[in-house]
Structure formats: structure tokens, C-alpha cells
């Protein structure tokens, strides 16, 4: 007989006052009870626990850890996510634009994506057609509804309308499934080899989704690592890290192509300084500022 050692989850829900009592029993310093109560009322204990763990061992807080120490990092994380969402929007829009622009011009077809010969992965292509059809069916976009009302053939809108309703990740799937000549065409529009565009756009779509769903970025290890062994830019990555820094290097490289005057790094410096953040927890090397500046100068 197999010995099943799985335990049954039996933790009861706790009201906010009980949550605070538990934190204090575990060694957290609480100077302002009303402040802690406010944050636990509006942000779940479970969400906070992700940050707590960095300051704990065996659920006990390290000596002298104050709620304000954790709040400072939480506020930084919120500001970083908002900053990244703003910048990632520009990258996503540029990626979608170049897919539609390059493919439609080279084929001289508004509905080029309906030609299966453009795709090297036919199984993936069928999945792409399926999710495009689903997105069109569910879309409330004026341009999509206008097309469906006015035209019967083709049954789906042109590529420049399609990319607008697809997610960053879905556009990445289209790019990866394309024949190499079309991937190269889009890659060259960024001045970067197509395999790095595929890797980096996938990475940035992961980061975008993480930010959009309020996931922690500070002190987080990512399962997917963007490709870093690219001759021109290899020196800027942290080759030993699986944290957010390498995602940000890829982001900066793309921005150097589409928005070379971007000031997002200056904003990053401010929120790091204002919240006294130790950037090593995010995989940042000591010379990270120089690296970001040098990318723009390349």
C-alpha cells in the first residue's frame, strides 16, 4: 500500500485583527496599527505573504523587521509595474505594426495571414487561425464590427485589423510560426536577428502579463530566460541571472530601435532611489545604469 503523506489544508480564514496578531507573534514590528490594518483590508494577506517571505525564516521575521520595510518594497513594485506597462505598450504596438506592415507589403495582400504557405509550422498555423476566429467573433472593436457588417469575403478582417485585437503573446505565436524568410523580414526591421526577436518578444509578453496581473517583479525568478548570447549585446546582460534584469536589457535594446529618446530608465532610477531598493535582488549588476545608457549609444 502506498503511504500517502499529503496533508489536508486546514488553515482557517482570519479577520484582519487576527492577521495582525499573527504577524506580531511571528516577530513583525508594527508601529502604526491603523496603517497595517488599512493595507491588510485593501490588499490580501496572501498577496503580502509573497513579500513577507523575503524577510522570514520558518515563518519567523528577522529581528527588527518593520512593516514599513515591506511596505517600501511593495510601493516600489507597484510603481515599477506601472512604469513597465507604459513602456511595454510601445514595444507591443511596434511589434504588431511591423508584423502587419512587413507581411502585407511583401505579399501585397491585405489578408496575407490566410495563406498557409507563409507558415512553416502548419499545426501551429491551424491553432492561429482558430484563435484569430475566436477573437474576431468576440470582438467589440468598431473596426472589426464594421468589416463584418460590410464585407462577406474574406470572412475575417485584414491583418492590420487583426493584430489590433490580438494579445502580445498571440502575435508572438504568429511570428514564431512564420516561414524563416518572413521572420527575417520582421527581424531586420528592428535590426536584430529573428531568433532574438522571437525570444525577447516572448519574454516581454510574459513580463507584460505579469505586470498586468499585479504579480511581483521584485526578487522574482522567471522560468523563461530571454536569449542573451547575441554578439553585439551579450556584454549588457547578466549571464548568471534569471531575474528581471535580463528582461529589462531586452526591453532597452528594442526601445533603442523604436524609441531612442525614451526616458524610462531615468524614471526607474528615481523610484529605486526613493524607495531605497537593493537592486541585487532583481539581478542588477553594479554598473546597470552604464549598461542601459550604452545600449542606447550602440
pLDDT digits (tens, 9 = 90+) for 209-247: 999 999 999 999 999 999 999 999 999 999 989 999 999
Residue 2 pLDDT: 54
The Cα 153–Cα 149 span in angstroms is 11
Task: Indicate if the alpha-carbon torsion angle 144, 145, 150, 152 is positive or negative.
Answer: positive
pLDDT digits (tens, 9 = 90+) for 163-197: 999 999 999 999 999 999 999 999 999 999 999 99
The Cα 176–Cα 120 span in angstroms is 9
Question: By percentage, how much of the chain surpasses pLDDT 90?
Answer: 94
Arithmetic mean of pLDDT, 97-126: 96
The Cα 216–Cα 297 span in angstroms is 31
- Tell me the whole-structure pTM to 2 decimals: 0.92
Which of 45-48's residues contact partners 24+ apart within 8 Å by CB, and which partners? Answer: 45/14, 45/19, 47/214, 48/74
Arithmetic mean of pLDDT, 56-65: 96
Residue 14 pLDDT: 94
More confidently predicted of 122 and 2: 122
Counted residue by residue, the chain has a size of 298
Could you list the beta-strand ranges (E) of the chain. 56-57, 60-61
pLDDT band at 9 (very low <50, low <70, confident <90, very high): confident
Arithmetic mean of pLDDT, 49-63: 95
pLDDT band at 3 (very low <50, low <70, confident <90, very high): low
Arithmetic mean of pLDDT, 136-159: 96
Name the DSSP class of 223: S
270: nearest Cα among 249, 287, 284, 289: 289
Residue 4 pLDDT: 60
The whole-chain average pLDDT of the chain stands at 95
| 8 A C-beta contact, residue 91 and residue 210 | no
Amino acid at each position: 500500500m502506498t503511504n500517502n503523506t499529503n496533508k489536508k489544508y486546514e488553515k482557517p480564514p482570519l479577520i484582519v485583527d487576527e492577521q495582525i496578531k499573527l504577524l506580531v507573534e511571528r516577530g513583525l514590528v508594527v508601529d502604526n496599527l491603523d496603517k497595517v490594518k488599512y493595507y491588510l483590508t485593501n490588499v490580501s494577506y496572501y498577496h503580502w505573504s509573497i513579500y513577507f517571505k523575503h524577510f522570514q525564516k520558518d515563518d519567523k521575521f528577522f529581528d527588527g523587521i518593520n512593516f514599513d520595510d515591506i511596505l517600501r518594497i511593495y510601493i516600489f513594485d507597484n510603481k515599477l509595474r506601472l512604469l513597465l506597462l507604459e513602456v511595454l505598450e510601445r514595444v507591443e504596438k511596434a511589434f504588431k505594426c511591423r508584423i502587419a506592415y512587413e507581411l502585407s507589403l511583401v505579399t501585397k495582400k491585405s489578408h496575407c495571414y490566410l495563406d498557409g504557405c507563409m507558415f512553416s509550422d502548419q499545426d501551429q498555423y491551424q491553432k492561429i487561425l482558430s484563435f484569430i476566429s475566436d477573437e474576431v467573433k468576440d470582438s467589440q472593436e468598431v473596426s472589426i464590427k464594421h468589416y463584418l457588417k460590410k464585407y462577406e469575403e474574406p470572412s475575417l478582417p485584414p491583418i492590420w485589423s487583426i493584430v489590433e485585437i490580438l494579445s502580445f503573446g498571440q502575435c508572438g505565436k504568429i511570428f514564431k510560426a512564420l516561414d524563416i524568410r518572413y521572420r527575417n523580414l520582421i527581424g531586420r526591421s528592428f535590426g536584430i536577428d529573428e531568433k532574438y526577436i522571437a525570444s525577447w518578444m516572448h519574454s516581454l509578453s510574459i513580463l507584460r502579463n505579469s505586470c498586468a496581473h499585479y504579480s511581483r517583479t521584485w526578487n522574482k525568478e522567471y522560468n523563461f530566460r530571454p536569449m542573451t548570447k547575441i554578439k553585439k549585446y551579450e556584454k549588457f546582460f547578466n549571464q548568471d541571472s534569471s531575474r528581471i534584469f535580463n528582461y529589462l536589457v531586452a526591453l532597452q535594446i528594442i526601445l533603442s530601435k523604436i524609441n531612442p529618446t525614451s526616458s524610462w530608465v531615468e524614471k526607474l532610477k528615481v523610484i529605486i532611489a526613493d524607495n531605497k531598493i537593493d537592486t541585487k535582488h532583481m539581478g542588477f549588476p553594479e554598473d546597470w545604469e552604464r549598461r542601459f545608457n550604452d545600449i542606447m549609444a550602440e
